[in-house]
Structure 1
Amino acid sequence: MHIILFLFPNNPLQSLIPHPANEILSTFSTKILEMESDFVQDIYVTGSLSLHDFHPQKSDIDFVVVCRDLPTGDIVTKLKKIHGAIAKHFPYPELSGHYITSESIESDTPEYSKVLSFHQGRMKYETFDMAPIYLWELRENAITVFGKPNEKLKINITKSNLNKFLYLNINSYWSKWIARHSSFGNRKILLVAFPRFTEWVILGIARQLCTLHTGKIFSKSDAGNYCLQHLPVQYHPIVHQALEIRRDVRTIPGLKSYRISPSLMRANQTIECARYMISIFNASYQKGQS
């Protein structure tokens, strides 16, 4: 069974994608499906759109295109032109995603696979390092635009694979980020000045904690609300701030909270809460290993 979400204007599935993302995806899907090489097998939407937490001024349109073969040569040139034309017509929100083969998706070690990525206007080949979390989300949460229903994909990521990936990620990437932004310097100044970093750190780590505890992929907003139910009350104010920034609640007249709004207290509370969530994550993970 093949689903073609955007080629039928009255398809009720279109209501899952808000404007202008629906128009961008319609254009994108139509253009790549019209390519004479017929290399596209499936198209999926992931990320904030599939998790119903999409904010047009800050969210990307996350996609996964499953290909017969990894795009090369003329196909890559054509894809760059398609992305360039869409970006010129629709500056925001931006498309961000991966072109990947079905062979890589079905691999027992997809994290070593090569993919063609498109992010912030750049297309490049890279190793699919984030495969465990991306493929889990693809199977469990994606919206099928074209091709095989996402839940029918032969993805071999297990809960154990996922948890190990999250554990390694939170103790490398996130722990290092917290360490670099804790001492007062240029990085700490950025955290002090820009509330968006609080949203990004608090809700980003919260998502990983939620997935470890539940096995489900949470949106940033849902992860924040989950933490309000499970973290000690002393951390609730900074989680509330992160959620307010996510919703673009104005904290200064005429200035949105995700722009410049210096606060040393907010920065310190961000670091403290992030460290606590990492410690809780590690304790939960180690308990699950015993």
Structure 2
Amino acid sequence: KETVRDCSLRYLYIGPLNKWDRFSEGVSKFYNSGELQKALDRCKIIGVDLDDRIRHKWKAFATLEHTKIGAEIGLHGRFMATATTKVQAVIKTLLDPAYGADSKREALPVLPNKFACGDAKIVNIEVRRSMETEPDIVFTMPDTGEGKKVPLIGEVKSCSTYNISDHHKDFTSQRSQSIRNLLGQIARDMRERGIRFGFITTYKETLYLKISKQPQNGEYALYYSNIIKHTDAVAQGSKSGALTSISVRLAILYLLHRVSEKDTSTWSFKPEKIDT
């Protein structure tokens, strides 16, 4: 009675939809790279990390939310504060010479040196007349200037009105409140802008997305990851070293790594190549 109860999902994705089977493998390979591990180890004394490690000492400090949210507009801000802003801090720390970074001595995995994260209005480009249903979260590279591009976007829906896990097993339904209904807006925004990577989150649950060609026929499809919960932390298997759990922040860092490649075709495509 004290919060939003209706989930407003205006759009429906009706195109090919596939599981992003190698998402976890890609994140694990990125995280376990010797260069990144050396950099994280170099910065471990600093209070910046991909997990809320401080919660192991003060359990209510960083993990639990204490802010009461009544609508998506408030949830959007909280997700940025606890996820994207923290990832920005990690990247800035890893690349900062003041904390031991030296490009000649240490070859880090590709990460964006200058980028910004905010709402759609930080970009002066409107795809349609009204900004009413523009992406909730956009990343720009570089952070300022006329040449900045948007290589990654995110959409926020309220966890009080939609549980992704309740619909995650049926990706064929086109009914109201289905997964395809949930993905409609973010899929449209990615396609219109030629953006290959994105994510949709309810804060409690997040799906990571990519648009890529299907190997069997060369047609473009939307691919989705497993659900990553806001409480998931980075964890490795005892023998193989492969990740058994991925955090929301690590997944965002991985996507930022993917969209930092100089070859723009790895993270963008021409929208007109996809039939509507």
Please, what TM-score do these two structures have when normalized by structure 2? 0.27
Instruction: Tell me: higher relative CO, structure 1 or 2? Use CA pairs within 8 A at least 6 residues apart.
Output: 2
The structure having more radius of gyration, on CA atoms, is 1
Q: Which has the higher helix share?
A: 1
Please, what TM-score do these two structures have when normalized by structure 1? 0.26
